[in-house]
Structure 1
């Protein structure tokens, strides 16, 4: 009989409930502890979910003194850095919810802690587990498009602004860019093999979030609800990145990869106010190319599946812990998109193009 994987949860908000649901479906996994900085909240969480064998803590550091194989970090963005570094240095394997961090310096510190301790840091991007998302990457990496020189990605909700910790600059660090923009970036950058960014020129605004007609917490809204950026990479590649929590438009368009030999168009999945971002499945995929001297387009057959992508993310983490495998979605990769988001926010604030400096 396999030795149970002992899991602790840091943070007991909404996303922690999603993690608990997935862990409960995996054999030989025990939720043994929950920590939350708000006194009594972890205990209430444990009782509400009938986690009879789990201990509750008001300090994540106290929880990390337990014998744990891994932890899920489900705190507000501002706490990602300290909880991750503490967990890694306490000898735990870490599944961290997106976005990775608030600042680039924090992300660098987190990756460094993972390298120094030899403990895993994986970031929670469940769309990676959609077979069609993998198909997009396979097509781009196949060389079918030739030299990829331009990529356009991002997404927009006609309406879909969150509240609470998501709109507090002190707790979230950023708004739409970090919340849903990170999904768009991961989709494009992962397909491209995470190239090295050089510069970014960006603009952000919050016309909807600060308007009481559109948001009930308008007076507390401190982050961007829209952003657009032009990112330059090594090897003569440029990416246009755009994201919106709310807008007077039905869509910000498809994700596109333009290459010297072909182009790939990927439509977003779903309909309605809260759709149009790359936080789950993908829609239609079309390859544009020449054939026998003629311009043509080929629909790429989608892969039918009924996978629960969030479950696949959590299960992959558990399997990696159990088998001693590397991080499924390593922090070293996501650090690159964190550098881009950091550059977007700096550029928008300074109203000019800025350089992106990576530590390696």
Structure 2
């Protein structure tokens, strides 16, 4: 986390440009492609070389349709390390001041933005203006207004904007969605989503409103928001919410510690959810219908996900989420494949509108209607 803070400090202070040196001394990983896919891989640069960026890079070693070909970071030492570890050509390495130059780099098709939430807006728009497709971590922005601006910028630039909703490709999750769609659970009446953990280092960017846009809701809470939507299969029409703060020293104004929130859907179904940074063992989805029920616990962790329904245990095999996500996103970008649950910018804006409404409900103590 210290390295992330150092990077942020350098970003604010405008770090010295990382020099670009000829790439003729470097070669990309030679990788055997999936026999079922005879096209070129999606060539991806990762922006933000922190812990999750590293997780994605490691997962991409097993991708069949996507390949890591570039990096963008504010820390030269990280770039040097990744060059060696992943055989990244020096010509494909950029910092936060010069990454607009990717416009002229034909070895990069897309950029995966994995930086603090508040930086996504400007970085995504810059990538779009450079003519590259964008994958952005969630939440896509700190509010719906910024999110819509990102969607509009990508549409204007004629590039795709996808968001890192890895659970949309998770087999047990998709099985429950299938059961609900085919009527096996009957009319849905209730969803419960619990998302939380006890956060550590109080100086990290996730507890800095200027960088995170909030607190637990802008990190772990979005899983229950998004999960409620794809599990119930409807868009909510109202929100109520209540905030609890037990440690105001750690959780400053504007940084939520715990929020309980409720969603109402057009069919009459309701959702009761909790987002927190102060309790462990909270990663559970429960869906109840007239004919049956389904549960995931853990529901959104890196896996393996465990699930059961009124018909018994779910046995779909575990696959590394980020590997599946990147291969599926390559298919979306290259072939226009349509996922069961959308992962585009419009999907992310829907979540952001709900987050905006939750914060308004906390502030006013009133039910907030959603349009």
TM-score, length basis structure 1: 0.79
Question: What pairs up with 1:120-159 in 2 under 5 angstroms?
Answer: 120-157=160-197, 159=198
SS for the counterpart of 1:197 is coil
- Contact kept? 1:149, 1:237, Cα under 8 Å: yes
- For each residue in 1:17-39, what CA deviation from the matched residue of structure 2 results, as whole angstroms up to 9, or x when unmatched? 12222233335755343223x36
Residue number in structure 2 paired with 1:262: 291
| Residue pair 2:163, 2:344 contacting (<8 A) in 1 also | yes
1:266 & 1:233 partners in 2: Cα distance?
20
**Matches of 1:88 and 1:183 in 2, distance apart?**
26
Query: How many angstroms apart in 1 are the aligned matches of 2:65 and 2:301?
Result: 32
In the alignment, which of 223, 232, 248 is matched to residue 192 of structure 1? Answer: 232
**Residue 241 of structure 2 corresponds to residue 202 of structure 1:** yes
Deviations 1:185-237 (A, max 9, x none): 222311333x23322111223424x46xxxxxx38796212111112233333
| CA shift in 2, pair 1:254/1:52, >3 Å | closer
Aligned counterpart, 1:232: 264
Gaps of 5+ in 1: 212-217, 270-275, 288-298
CA distance in 1, matches of 2:195, 2:41: 40
Moved over 4 A (4+): 27-30, 160-163, 219-222, 250-254, 276-281
C-alpha separation in 1, matches of 2:261 and 2:350: 15
* Number of residue equivalences: 327
**2:70 corresponding residue in structure 1:** 33
Aligned pair 1:340/2:358, yes or no? no
Deviations 1:65-99 (A, max 9, x none): 42321111111111111222222333222221122
Deviation at 1:103, TM superposition (A): 0.5
Structure 2: gaps (5+ residues): 1-37
Q: Is the 8 A contact 1:12 1:41 kept in 2?
A: no
How far apart, CA to CA, are the structure 2 residues paired with 1:29 and 1:147? 39
Partner of 2:34: none
- Rounded to whole Å, the distance in 2 between the matches of 1:52 and 1:18 is 17
The answer to whether the aligner puts 1:350 opposite 2:364 as a matched pair is yes
Q: What CA distance in whole angstroms lies between the structure 2 residues aligned with 1:91 and 1:326?
A: 22
In structure 2, how many angstroms separate the alpha carbons of the residues matched to 1:263 and 1:66?
52
- 8 Å Cα contact 1:127-1:278 kept in structure 2: no
User: What's 1:81 paired with?
Assistant: 121
Higher share in strand: 1
Query: Which of 93, 101, 108 is the equivalent residue of 2:141?
Result: 101
Q: Aligned equivalents of 2:137 and 2:79: distance in 1?
A: 22
Distance in 1, matches of 2:356 and 2:55, equals 28
Residue of structure 2 equivalent to 1:51? 87
Shift in alpha-carbon separation, 1:306–1:26, aligned structure 2, 3 A: same
Question: Against the structure 1 CA distance between its residues 141 and 167, is the aligned structure 2 distance closer, same or farther, given a 3 Å change threshold?
Answer: same
Q: CA deviation at 1:325?
A: 3.4
Q: Distance in 2 between matches of 1:86 and 1:332?
A: 19
